[in-house]
Amino acid sequence: MNPRIADALNEQINRVFNAAFLYLSCSVDLKEYGMSGAGNWMRLHYHSECAHALNLLDYMEQRRIAVKMPHIFPVDYIWESPPDLFRIAWEHEKIITTALHHLIALCRGEEDFATEQQLLPTVHMRVQEEDRTASILRELQRCGKDECALLNWDEKIGQSAGNFAFRS
């Protein structure tokens, strides 16, 4: 495999594991805030990101490419309300998706069609995850600071989290 692609795959694994850690942190914050439904949703998102990263890691191992274990950065964000956390998650989703697009473009440029094919299904899933996170953010923004609306929304998202499975 082209060393540039191997480096880019390692960077993507690092990005995705760091995103997973961010979502786990958001889960803890939301549960401490009293929104266990939203916290559970973020925890599912954490598991989804781990699965995405492990798929890339497994692919590299299968191709006998050296995997550089990711460095997990400290989670650093400021939030005042649940919409802030979902905005942070949505912004992070977009960063990861953009990096994945660049990785696919690199694969095409280097004519590494096997790696491109490995990555393409993930693009569709990432777009779905971005869309779902953006929808949640819009719902939360409509709730505003109305505690009753937020608690009702939290119960709804908690129920849907059991039905909504992120795919890897």
Q: Where are the domains of the chain?
A: 3-163
76: confidence class by pLDDT, cuts 50, 70, 90:
confident
Q: Which CATH superfamily hosts domain 3-163?
A: Ferritin, core subunit, four-helix bundle (1.20.1260.10)
CB 27 within 8 A of CB 75: no
d(CA 53, CA 100) in angstroms, rounded, equals 12
Tell me how many degrees the CA angle 88-71-29 measures, rounded to the nearest 5. Answer: 35
What mean pLDDT is predicted for residues 1-29?
94
Chain centroid offset of residue 55 CA: 14
**Each residue's pLDDT tens digit, 30-72:** 999 999 999 999 999 999 999 999 999 999 999 999 999 878 8
**Each residue's pLDDT tens digit, 118-146:** 999 999 888 888 999 999 999 999 998 88
d(CA 67, CA 69) in angstroms, rounded, equals 6
Distances in Å between the Cα of 11 and the Cα atoms of 50, 93, 127 are 14, 15, 20
pLDDT of residue 163: 55
Q: Is the pTM of this model over 0.75?
A: yes
pLDDT mean across residues, the chain: 90
